[in-house]
Structure 1
């Protein structure tokens, strides 16, 4: 008998099918460390939320024993709702053999005005961002954590999370089956900030949920076929490189178009009869009228470059990158949403790390950040005072910008820590250069634009064969002793990984300045068939 929970409503349909039809095939496969760490962090966060909410009004709560057997938990949940408990933590709802639904919810809130219960989930990611009030903006509904009072909130903006809405719709349908759903047609999410409940209107979500659920349960029951297709999820999927044949092997054998146009781009192309990379490379007509994924001609060139084995294609006759008299490369290492423990820099070929090994979260992070910012601004000021130009470089500034602002907010007032306005003045200036943007603007990248994809083209290699952001999470846990005694060798490993990242941006910059034009084929080379018009290299 097939059952489906809300986690399966977002993501790859083919993976869902493989999980259902080959339940023991991955028994010996070690779970991705990054996935495991995120799950453990989410469990710890939900425990913290439960403890603080229950402590504030213990008499209002029924807490379902998380260690109890499933049948007992279901019975206790249904009994608590039947008794009209104001708040229920850890509820498990009855499985539905006919529909296949199963699921549990962190928080069930009694709707005292209308009757029934409102499902509230607790998630280990952000659901809102702070903002200054603006009367012209849309204001989401939020409620106080301890008193249900939904109202328009001028101080936050939404961070859309479809998976949260789908889960709430799933839970609503399960409550509805037993006459326990609030007529208000709403659900709630407590996000990582743990400062409010984001209220979701489910009126417009349920129809999409019903359609999505019908499709997914049919996949699980073998009523609908699936086939592999490359999507972002593939990077961490255990089926990608495993199985007989694996998804990766199948796609390569098929020369599937998703290899160069992953995700929804491949879906559009298939609607127009394009199934393979070769068919895309041979496209000569007008672009599809429903194409909304950037210049279509570049997608065709990407296919031709893939066939030719070209890792990059130049968009222009020349390649340029902002250079300065004094150049600093910057890369940070963070752990989950707990903080940034290491800011690595490279100046005049000397690597300087600013760090804390106190387990995050820790006030010592503010000390290391203040020292990093003070040093960087001193180098900048000294350069300007000497009449020299200055530039600091990173690769894909999203993370750096985030933790610059977050660190300034969290550690305001500590020595060396800048204000929000000082951070903004720096990141908005020409002195802060994103090498990812420079690569994106000047190259087509058939194999991806990550630093570990691009820097090897320039001749750079990482010392650690396992180097990756996900792997560094596990190294950090061992380095600071989250699970056992601190492993000092992992600290060395993290320093070397971070140093290689900043050196990679420096090597990439020099290569773009000096050699890229001569070593990388141009867009014109592929525009009319060119090197990629024949068979695979």
Structure 2
């Protein structure tokens, strides 16, 4: 296992006190694929030298930078209160320094590493150990590079999340935010609580904290309701690492960036992709928790699912189960789409604008690409994010879009703006309106809300989801080729564009790469062209080219020779 993979998954094997091979696990391995955990622990040499996924690497580097910023800011504000455990020391020395600081009653410890527990297998550290001056012990506070809360208008509801000031521990109900669910944060805090408890240093408050991307408050977690689930999860995961609990591949979202997807763990073995294909595993058409439910009912393969008869499973809580069966039958025959409806419909207008944005992590949206009457027009800033110039490009985009809409209304024509999967566009419309409020051309949040909640903002992803069953996935890169569209760049994708952006703006030093700017603009242009092509196809040809759900309801499952793998 490469050092990078060890950091990401938190798996470590070494020699224990009695000479046996000991397995250690930290909290990062509590969420995610169990089979990946097993492969990393039991085939450590296979990934040596394998390049880390670019998107994963960028997120890891950004998280490290965020932690440094938080450390420097907090320590500089009140250095006398802080004890720093230097990160460059060997693990044993760091753990000894941490325990010495705890025993000395240090008020706040940055970078603490707790002693590895050979018997339980736990290992882990924490950005902040905050002494509970009222009740004794320490409260773990983690620093993460994702959002832990969302802003909201003051809410008169009875229940509010607890948050604390960054510079003193004072949990209070916070009417101005709502919690963003982050099970990984809760599991990590529970893991740290159990490790502190082992040494009699866990605060009786059963509290933990998380400082998120915005670095404006500490979200306080009540760990009491989490501990039982954590204990069960940890027992399962450490059993996987120790080889006591067998695992097999199963398709989950994590597969997209996992090196084991295309690499066999041993010579002559199968990668996860090939194993799933050869076994016609049910997770290829019912990934994640859906497959777990189906396996509980004896459904292991796509053919098992396609041949299902009788009542629906009583614990099925997803799409209608009939559609799941049709998905299996469509996959088995190679059909990329199945119509749910007799006639496919999509909102059309006299004036149609396609919109697609490009953002960089949580730093901002640097490009709003548009397509009107076949003409691509980008609104962009090439100042490295975060930058005030982002407000200028956003204001220009919004002003132009509203002018096009107003002109259509003034001339008696209908108007619609289209995107694919509106989550990102909506997020950055609201975020930009908040961040650049009051500047010329920047809308208010209320104006954004009125537009995105209205009939003129059309999500093509929703139109596809409502009218088609998609055995190979619903992403634009999966659906648009069915309509005949192809991207110019074979590497086109959101993760790849992050790497292009770093080069395009000289993010890591050096001169900006103009060729990467061109690459980004062409990729963005292709995305809006793809949305337009898909819309035209749905209007003109989809009814004739896509089989209906009734066809598959009558059709028996195909043989394995006709299968295609969903990638």
Please confirm whether the aligned pair reaches a TM-score higher than 0.5, indicating the same fold.
Answer: yes
- Aligned match of 1:89: 110
Distance 1:364 1:15 in 2: 42
1:535 Cα deviation after fit: 4.7
2:515 counterpart of 1:489: yes
Q: Which runs of 5+ in 1 are unaligned?
A: none
2:205 counterpart of 1:184: yes
Aligned pair count reads: 536
Q: 2:240 aligns with which of 219, 222, 235?
A: 219
- Aligned match of 1:149: 170
- Aligned match of 1:473: 498
2:7 counterpart of 1:7: no
Aligned positions of 1:269-284 closer than 5 A: 269-284=294-309
Aligned positions of 1:422-433 closer than 5 A: 422-433=447-458
Once the two structures are superposed, what CA deviation does each residue of 1:276-333 show, in whole Å capped at 9, x if it has no partner?
A: 0011001121111111011000000000000010000001110110000000000000
1:69 Cα deviation after fit: 2.1
Q: 1:365 aligns with which of 376, 390, 403?
A: 390
Q: 1:334 aligns with which of 356, 359, 366?
A: 359
1:433 Cα deviation after fit: 0.4
Distance 1:145 1:442 in 2: 48
User: Do the aligned residues in 2 keep the contact of 1:458 with 1:507 (CA within 8 Å)?
Assistant: yes
Q: 1:110 aligns with which of 96, 109, 131?
A: 131
User: Do the aligned residues in 2 keep the contact of 1:308 with 1:536 (CA within 8 Å)?
Assistant: no
1:441 Cα deviation after fit: 0.4
Once the two structures are superposed, what CA deviation does each residue of 1:463-509 show, in whole Å capped at 9, x if it has no partner?
A: 01001101111110111111232111110100000000000000000
Q: What is the Cα-based RMSD across aligned positions, in Å? A: 0.9
Which moves more between the two structures, 15-24 or 172-181? 172-181
Q: Secondary structure at the match of 1:204?
A: helix
Q: Secondary structure at the match of 2:24?
A: coil
Once the two structures are superposed, what CA deviation does each residue of 1:51-93 show, in whole Å capped at 9, x if it has no partner?
A: 1111111100011111222222112111111111111101011
Distance 2:75 2:373 in 1: 55
Q: Which runs of 5+ in 2 are unaligned?
A: 1-21, 563-567
Distance 2:174 2:447 in 1: 27
- Aligned match of 1:457: 482
User: Do the aligned residues in 2 keep the contact of 1:373 with 1:418 (CA within 8 Å)?
Assistant: yes
1:134 Cα deviation after fit: 2.4
1:50 Cα deviation after fit: 0.7
1:533 Cα deviation after fit: 4.5
- Aligned match of 1:508: 534
Distance 1:391 1:28 in 2: 49
Once the two structures are superposed, what CA deviation does each residue of 1:82-109 show, in whole Å capped at 9, x if it has no partner?
A: 1111111010111111111111100000
Aligned positions of 1:141-290 closer than 5 A: 141-243=162-264, 244-290=269-315
1:24 Cα deviation after fit: 1.1
- Aligned match of 2:323: 298
Q: Secondary structure at the match of 2:209?
A: strand
Q: 2:543 aligns with which of 517, 520, 537?
A: 517
Q: Secondary structure at the match of 2:421?
A: coil
Q: Secondary structure at the match of 1:129?
A: strand
How does the TM-score come out when normalised to structure 1? 0.99
Q: 2:335 aligns with which of 285, 310, 323?
A: 310
1:193 Cα deviation after fit: 1.6
Distance 2:554 2:280 in 1: 21
Q: Secondary structure at the match of 2:213?
A: coil
- Aligned match of 2:51: 30
Distance 1:131 1:267 in 2: 36
User: Do the aligned residues in 2 keep the contact of 1:140 with 1:156 (CA within 8 Å)?
Assistant: yes
2:552 counterpart of 1:526: yes
Q: Secondary structure at the match of 2:109?
A: strand
How does the TM-score come out when normalised to structure 2? 0.93
Q: Secondary structure at the match of 1:157?
A: strand
Distance 1:134 1:270 in 2: 43
Distance 2:302 2:96 in 1: 54
User: Do the aligned residues in 2 keep the contact of 1:309 with 1:536 (CA within 8 Å)?
Assistant: no
